[in-house]
Amino acid sequence: MSTHDLYITPVPESTREVTPAGSTRFTWEYDDGREKLLALYQKGKDRQWDSVKRIDWDLDVDPYNVLGIPDQSLAIYGTKYWDKLSPKERAELRRHSASWQFSQFMHGEQGAMVTAAKIVETAPDLDAKFYSATQTMDEARHVEVFARFLQDKIGLVYPINTKLQDLLAETLTDSRWDMPFLGMQVLIEGLALAAFGVMRDVTTQPLPRQILAYVMQDEARHVAFGRMALRDLYRDLSAAERKDREEFVIQGCHLMRDRIRSREVWENFGLATPEVRKLIDESPYMRMFQSLLFSRIVPCVKDIGLWSPRIQETFAEMGVLDASRADLDALMRGDEEIADRLDAERFAAEEAARKAEVDAVIAAEAASS
C-alpha cells in the first residue's frame, strides 16, 4: 500500500523542493584530522546495524495502544472533552496521537538524512565529511525503521508538522556551513533524542522500546558530533556572529516547543479550540514532557559556547534553564548502555529458548527409545 493512502489528511505532492544554499567544498588535505572526531567516525562504522535483523518485527503492537501507557498522558484526559468521547473514539485518539508522534520522528529523520548529506558536501574538513557520511547511513536506517513501524503496526501516517518543516527549511537554506550543524545536530537531533528517551522509558511495549533504544544509540553519537564540530569554531566568533547564531537557536527552540503540541491531532478530532490549547499547555504531562525534551538541547547549547543572557532568559521563560546542569556525556553513555543491555537480554532469552527446545527434543528421543 502506498504511504499516500495512509496519510490522515491528503498530501498534495509526493516531493517537496527546498532550494539549497552554500558552497560545495572539496579538501585536498588528507591528514588524520581531529583525534576525537575520527574516534567517533570509527565508532559510527563499528555500530552500523541492519534494522531487518536487529529488530524483532514479529512482535505484536496494538495500534490503539501503541506505547501501553496510561491515558493521563493525553492532555484532555479527565476533562469534559474526554467524557464526551466514546470508548471507540478514545481508542482512535490514542492511535492518532501515537501516529502523529512517530510520523514526526520519521519526517525528522529524513530531514536529518538530507542535512547530513549536505554536511558531507559543505563541511571544510575531511574528518567532518567522514563522520557525516556514516550519519547519513544512520538516518536512512531510521527513516526505514519508523516508516515500517507506521505502515505495518499503526497503519496511519500524519504529514510533517509545519513547525518542523520551517526549521528544516531554515537549516537547509542557510549558506553558512556551520548552520546545518547547529540546526540539525544541536536543535532537531537534540530534541528528537530527548523525545525518544521519554518514550523509550515510559513504554511497556517491547517493539517500540527496541526501536527507540537502537535509534538513540546512533543519535547520541550525532549530537556528540555537533558539539565537537562547533565548540572550537564558536570560541572565535565575533559578537555579531555569535548574536546571529543565538537568535537562530532561540527561534528554533520556539518552533520546537510549538511543534510538540500535536495541533493536527486535535484538529482532526474537532478539538482545536483556545480552551483545549490551554489544557495542553497546562497539562502536567505536557509540562514534564517539554522540560525533558529540552534536557539535551540546553546543555549542548551551553557546551558549544552560545550562552548569553538572552539565551538564558529564553530558556528560563520556557522553564528549562535547569537542564543546563545536566551531564551530557553521562546521558549519552546511558543511551548506549541501554541499547547494549537490551541486546544482551534479548539474545540471552533467545539462547535459553533454543537450549530448551534442544533439551526437549533430546528428552523426547530418550523417552521413545
Q: Please write the tens of the pLDDT for every residue from 276-294.
A: 888 888 888 777 777 788 8
When pLDDT is averaged across residues 44-61 and rounded to a whole number, the result is: 94
Higher pLDDT residue, 32 or 138?
138
For residue 301, give the nearest of 286, 285, 314 by alpha carbon: 314
Distance CA 170, CA 165 (A): 9
CA dihedral 46, 51, 53, 56 (to 10 degrees): 130
Contact 4, 14 (CB under 8 A): yes
Distance CA 317, CA 48 (A): 40
Distance CA 343, CA 56 (A): 11
**CA dist 44 → 7, 69, 131, 142, 153 (Å):** 33, 33, 7, 14, 29
Residues facing 7 on adjacent strands: 157
Residue recorded with cell 478514545:
90
**Does position 25 have pLDDT exceeding 80, yes or no?**
no
Q: Is 296 strand, coil or helix?
A: coil
Residue recorded with cell 525534551:
293
Helix pair 189-202, 328-368: axis angle to 10 deg: 40
**Does position 241 have pLDDT exceeding 80, yes or no?**
yes
Distance CA 230, CA 92 (A): 43
30 alpha-carbon distance from chain centroid: 33
When pLDDT is averaged across residues 38-55 and rounded to a whole number, the result is: 91
**CA dist 35 → 27, 30, 151, 311 (Å):** 18, 14, 41, 31
Q: What number of helices (H) and strands (E) belong to the chain?
A: 16, 0
User: pLDDT value at position 257?
Assistant: 76
Distance CA 235, CA 304 (A): 8
Distance CA 28, CA 241 (A): 28
Residues written for the chain:
369
User: pLDDT value at position 30?
Assistant: 67
**pLDDT band at residue 163 using 50, 70 and 90 as cut-offs:** confident
Residue ranges of domains in the chain, CATH in brackets: 33-368 (1.10.620.20)
Q: Is 7 strand, coil or helix?
A: strand
Comparing 25-39, 235-249, 305-319, which segment has the lowest mean pLDDT?
25-39
**Does position 44 have pLDDT exceeding 90, yes or no?**
no
**Does position 360 have pLDDT exceeding 80, yes or no?**
no
**CA dist 140 → 45, 145, 186, 210 (Å):** 14, 9, 19, 17
pLDDT in tens, 99-156: 999 999 999 999 999 999 998 998 888 888 898 999 999 999 999 999 999 999 999 9
